[in-house]
Chain A
Amino acid sequence: MRGLVDRERPIRVLIAKPGLDGHDKGAKVVAKALKDAGMEVIYIGLRQSTDSILSAAVEENVDIIGLSILSGSHVPICRELSQKMVQQGIEGAKVVVGGVIPRADVQVLRDLGISEVFRGGSSFDDIIQAIKKIVRGTQRQ
């Protein structure tokens, strides 16, 4: 009956650590969980500039850009990334952010165009389901 099922390509996710912080356990553990959930995950590592993240996202044709930020610099980084995405007309990929993020900043990030914010304590399942929902929403558009 396989032919009756829509052949979807797996969700492709780029994970990066922008800024200078080197603690990447969170980024890599989430990457592993997304992989185990059947997604294709590209981890590009530490000290990524917004330019390097966007060029990798375009090259890899990803659905989701996942940023891991623990240093507290999530607002300026996300602002810069969003602005560049608009300037460069990158519309296919949606951005999600995880890390040490005060509750008060969640709305700030959403207003910058970030699709979802995963604060400390978010479960793998929360993240997987949210990403699936974002990608389904994008496909309907």
Chain B
Amino acid sequence: MKMDGEPKETDTGVKVKLYYTPEDLPEFDYETSLGSPGKYPYTRGIYPTMYRGKLWTMRQYSGFSTSENTNSRFKFLLDQGQTGLSLALDLPTQLGLDSDDPLAKDDVGRLGVAIDTLRDMEEMFDGIPLDKISTSFTVNSTAGIILAMYVATGEKQGVSKEKLRGTIQNDILKEYIARGTWIFPPEPSIRLIGDTIVYCIENIPRFNSVSVSGTHICEAGATHAQSIAYPFLAAITYINEVLRRGYQIDQIAPLLSFHLIAGGIQFQLFQDVANLRAARRLWAKIVKERLGAKQEKSMLLRFSTGAMGSGMTEQQPLNNIARIAYYALAAALAGSRSFNLPCFDEAYGIPTEEAIRTSLRVQQILAYETGVPDTVDPLAGSYYAENLTNYFEKEIEREMEDIESRGGIVACIENGSIQSKLLGQAYEVEKKIQTGEIVKVGVNRFAIDEEQREMEVSKVDPEVLKRQIERLNWVRAARDKGKVTACLHDLNKAATEQRNTMPYLVDAVKAYATMGEIIGVLKGVYGEAEQPVFI
């Protein structure tokens, strides 16, 4: 039998001791290991005052069916005290298909709003001044087009480009690994990301041109350390693409933000926090020492946190509110700048208004009732938290070296080795949940015979597809066709000659070229990615 004092292996495989002492931090030095908040290496946080200076941004992912629905949902959320908008786009929009494309019919307006042309974007932000809000777009392959539409919408509102604030996800590499909305092969996709970063450097300094994401790959089976290591490698790939074009690291790094995991199926409160503290420290070192940044703001790991639906159980769904609250606590203890929490009815479909509001209330309770934001990085100096932070920093570095020694992240995606590794890990976790080795309350322990609970499930209005196609046809009929053709021709030429596509995308969307038309041009130049299919 195991003695009580022996290390316990946690569900994530990390071994945890009964208690920790100064001996667990042999080389601990406050200045070099932590630094005060806002000081290199930023372990404690990237700003001196953190939440006292500014609370985290409370953002919940939303966006429904059509631009009018989304517009009223946005106004509702802003009225409720939400401070940033996070927009879900439907899958056809994320994949560059017009709403009348035969492949799109079952997915139009389903997981988010449908955007076919600039007209949809204009309606979505009608009465919402773009210089007063920041908007986060979950979009990758078509990110440049969405950014172009946002710029054009701002222009029509009289808001100049430099006043726009927001984020486009624009992180293609994790799409091949986990999320699946790739269109083009990796190489031209990385070039397109370079185009958006350069455009932001030159024109929209307050816009985060890439949100490098660790959350999706975590859902797909990545460990804590991998969920930092792979995004870091992706970020370095995008940075190198822009360095290649003659820009400096200090121009590029401040435009990158990260979306990292706090919560989810492998949640362990202290490990999640330590992993993020380690990430902050390691990124500062990488940007300074490896990439040669001189300016402090380049070294800041600016991250939001999220956890997706997989931690949410279908059984006893109200239990999920407790889980969501712990995820939020982890995010706050880790110094996340913006929380995106899952909703308690996530296992049932698109979250209802009540569930979205409840997740927002969880954030507000944490912010205003608990005292948690009052002091910066409250776990600092804990033998346990610092030991775990050191452990994760080494693990993240080890995972990065592993990929780099095997040809780099692009090669490991193209040969499928990352995907198959994550799948194997996900399979093991799932088996452990099914055998009860990993406890899920209400699922494999403390389960009850529930009455056949019927939850309110958001439905897609069957009229949505019809209305969206009608509007698309109206726009097609009303626009200047000669102008569209000319803009698409110019875009084709720019893409072929490997010039920055962004100015041409802005012109094309202003001429009301459709998403499908623009992506069609780019497919002609770049080709399409091959799908690695294996199990």
- Give A contacts to B, CB under 8 Å: 19-25, 28-29, 31-33, 35, 41, 43-47, 49, 71-73, 76-77, 100, 102-104, 119-121, 123-125
**Interface status of B395 (Cβ within 8 A of chain A):** no
| A interface: dominant SS | mixed
Q: B107 contacts A20, CB within 8 Å?
A: yes
Q: Is B83 an interface residue (CB 8 A)?
A: no
In the complex, B378 has a CB within 8 A of chain A: no
Q: Let me know if B524 is at the binding interface, CB within 8 A.
A: no
Residue pair B533, A44 in contact (C-beta under 8 Å) = yes
Within 8 A of A (CB), among B380-428: 423, 426-427
Question: Distance (Å) between the CB of A84 and the closest chain B CB?
Answer: 14
Interchain CA distance A1-B91 in the complex, whole Å: 55
The yes or no answer to B349 lying at the interface (CB within 8 A) is: yes
4 pairs of A and B residues whose beta carbons are closest in the complex: A22-B180, A20-B91, A73-B106, A45-B533
Contact B423 A28 (CB under 8 A): yes
Give the complex CA separation of A104 and B453 in angstroms.
10
Within 8 A of A (CB), among B161-183: 175, 178-182
- Given known contacts A20-B92, A103-B452, A77 and B106 CB-to-CB distance under 8 angstroms: yes
Q: Counting CB contacts under 8 A, is B111 at the interface?
A: yes
Shortest distance from the beta carbon of A26 to any chain B beta carbon, whole Å: 9
Q: Given A25-B219, A45-B531, answer yes or no on A19-B180 (Cβ-Cβ < 8 Å).
A: no
Q: Is B535 an interface residue (CB 8 A)?
A: yes
A40 to chain B, nearest CB (A): 11
Chain B interface residue number, banded: 35 or more
Interchain CB contact (< 8 A) of A71 among B107, B179, B427, B534: B107
- How many residue pairs link A and B with beta carbons under 8 A? The number is 102
Task: Judge whether B534 and A22 touch: CB under 8 Å.
Answer: no
Q: How far is the CA of A40 from the CA of B91 in the complex (A)?
A: 31
Q: CB within 8 Å of A: which residues of B?
A: 91-92, 94-95, 97, 103-107, 110-111, 175, 178-182, 219-221, 313-315, 347-350, 423, 426-427, 430-431, 434, 443, 452-455, 457, 460, 531, 533-535
Contacts of B180 in A (CB 8 A): 21-24, 46
A20–B533 CA distance with the chains assembled, in angstroms: 16
Q: A24-B180, A120-B314 are in contact. Are A46 and B434 (CB under 8 A)?
A: no
- Give the chain B neighbours of A25 by CB distance below 8 A: 178, 219-221, 423, 426
The chain B residue with its CB closest to the CB of A34 is: B535
Q: Is the CB of A31 within 8 A of B107?
A: no
Q: Which residues of the partner chain A approach B179 to less than 8 Å between Cβ atoms?
A: 22-23
Q: How far is the CA of A29 from the CA of B419 in the complex (A)?
A: 12
Which A residues lie within 8 Å of B434 (CB)? 123-125
CA separation between A71 and B180, bound complex, in Å?
Answer: 13
**C-alpha gap A113/B431 in the complex (Å):** 30
CB distance from A42 to the nearest CB of B (A): 9
Contacting residues, chain B, for A43 (C-beta < 8 A): 533-535
Contact of B531 among A19, A23, A46, A76 (CB under 8 A): A46
User: Within the assembled complex, what's the spacing in Å between the Cα atoms of A121 and B434?
Assistant: 9
* 5 A-B contacts (beta carbon < 8 Å): A22-B181, A43-B533, A76-B106, A120-B314, A120-B347
In the bound assembly, the distance between CA atoms of A77 and B110 in angstroms comes to: 13
A35 to B535 alpha-carbon distance, docked (Å): 9
Supplied contacts A20-B95, A28-B426, A41-B535, 14 more A-B pairs, CB within 8 Å? A19-B106, A22-B180, A23-B219, A25-B178, A25-B221, A45-B531, A46-B180, A49-B103, A71-B110, A100-B347, A102-B454, A104-B457, A121-B314, A121-B315
A22–B535 CA distance with the chains assembled, in angstroms: 15
Is A72 within 8 A of B535, CB to CB?
no
Residues of A close to B430: CB separation below 8 A: 29, 124
Q: How far does the alpha carbon of A123 sit from the alpha carbon of B350 in the complex, in Å?
A: 23
* Cα distance, A77 to B111, chains bound together (Å): 16
A residues in contact with B105, CB < 8 Å: 76
C-alpha gap A131/B423 in the complex (Å): 22
Instruction: Assess the B426–A121 pair: CB atoms within 8 A.
Output: no
B349 in complex: contacting residue of A20, A47, A100, A121, CB < 8 Å? A100
In the assembled complex, the Cα of A119 lies from the Cα of B443 at a distance in Å of 13
Contact residues in A for B443 (Cβ distance below 8 Å): 121
A71/B454 contact (C-beta < 8 A), A21-B180, A100-B348 known:
no
Contact B427 A29 (CB under 8 A): yes
Cα-based distance from A102 to B460 in the complex (angstroms): 13
Give the shortest distance, in Å, between A52 (CB) and chain B (any CB): 11
A35 nearest in chain B by CB position: B535
Residue of chain A at shortest CB distance from B350: A72
CA–CA, A49 and B103, complex, Å: 7
Distance between B448 CB and nearest chain A CB, rounded to angstroms: 14
Closest to A33 in B: B427
Q: How distant is the Cα of A21 from the Cα of B90 in the complex, in angstroms? A: 10
A59 to B535, CA, bound (A): 19
A5 to B383, CA, bound (A): 62
Q: Are A20 and B531 within 8 A (Cβ)? A: no
How many Å lie between the Cα of A23 and that of B105 in the bound state?
Answer: 19
Of the listed residues B314, B443, B460, B535, the one surrounded by the most CB atoms of chain A closer than 10 A to its CB is: B535
Complex CA distance for A44 and B533, rounded to whole angstroms? 6
CA distance A22 to B457 in the complex (A): 22
Bound-state CA distance A88–B186 (Å) is: 38
B107, A124: Cβ atoms under 8 Å? no
Residues of B near A33 (CB, < 8 A) are 427, 431
Nearest CB in chain A to that of B346: its residue: A100
* Contact of A22 with B314 in the complex, beta carbons under 8 Å: no
Interfacial chain A residues near B315, Cβ < 8 Å: 121
Q: Which residues in A have their C-beta under 8 angstroms from that of B452? A: 103
Q: Known contacts A20-B91, A46-B180, A100-B347: does B314 contact A32 (CB below 8 Å)?
A: no
Q: Once the chains are docked, how many angstroms separate the CA of A36 from the CA of B347?
A: 27
